[in-house]
Amino acid sequence: MSTQTTLERPAAKSPRSDRKYMNIKLHGTIEESRRQAAAILEVLAGVLTPTQAAKALSLSLMSYYKLEARALRGLVLGCQPLGRGPRSSPEVEVQRLRKQCQRLQQDVGRYQALVRTAQRAAGLHATAPAAPTDGKGRRKRKPAVRALKAIQTIRNVPPEAPPAQPAASALAASASS
């Protein structure tokens, strides 16, 4: 008499099974793009027809299909394996280019010093840099400092003599005394 009794445990509930949402990081995304992604997923899941999704997104049916194709291309590209090694970021690239620029500027300074030394050794005089032109071959006019000229003019003006009294007011003043 062998009766087999099986003790069944109640199915253990996974702590993740009661979650309503997936753990997708969507910070910094535009609401419109999230709506479009949700509509495309609903069409692919069979919840909506493409016509209904296009109407919900206020798109023509052709625009919806173009959007869907673009989304599927993004999905496929996102599923490609990542390359090995460190990733290049724009900040790292900017820093690398700044270092390269600084190194090249140092090289230019060094080469200019070598040229000056070679010119002195050969007895050549360094030529003065050409005066800047306005594009038509004419030299640019040196700007006059008007404020300094105005200060000099103001300082060199002799003080005026007190204004002379009119004759009528002078007679009235002498008559009253």
Give the tens place of pLDDT for each residue, 60-75. 999 999 999 999 999 9
**Contact by Cβ (8 Å): 50, 43:** yes
Cα–Cα dist 88/94, whole Å: 10
Which is more confident, 151 or 52?
52
Structural domain contains residue 63: yes
Taking CA atoms, 60 is separated from 39, 63, 68, 74, 141, in Å, by 14, 5, 12, 21, 62
Structural domain contains residue 149: no
The last residue of one of the domains, among 48, 78, 108, is 78
Query: In total, how many domains does the chain have?
Result: 2
Q: Considering the chain, what is the average pLDDT of its residues?
A: 79
Residue 53's domain comprises 31-78
The pLDDT score that the predictor gives to residue 153 is 78
Whose CA is closest to 54, among 40, 34, 69, 70?
40
User: Domain check: are 40 and 67 in the same one?
Assistant: yes
Structural domain contains residue 74: yes
Percent of the chain at pLDDT > 70 equals: 69
The pLDDT score that the predictor gives to residue 177 is 52
Cα–Cα dist 84/82, whole Å: 7
Question: What's the whole-model pTM score?
Answer: 0.41
The pLDDT score that the predictor gives to residue 56 is 93
User: Domain check: are 42 and 71 in the same one?
Assistant: yes
Structural domain contains residue 65: yes
DSSP 139: B
Cα–Cα dist 101/107, whole Å: 10
The mean per-residue pLDDT over the stretch 120-134 comes to 75
Cα–Cα dist 163/65, whole Å: 92
Structural domain contains residue 130: no
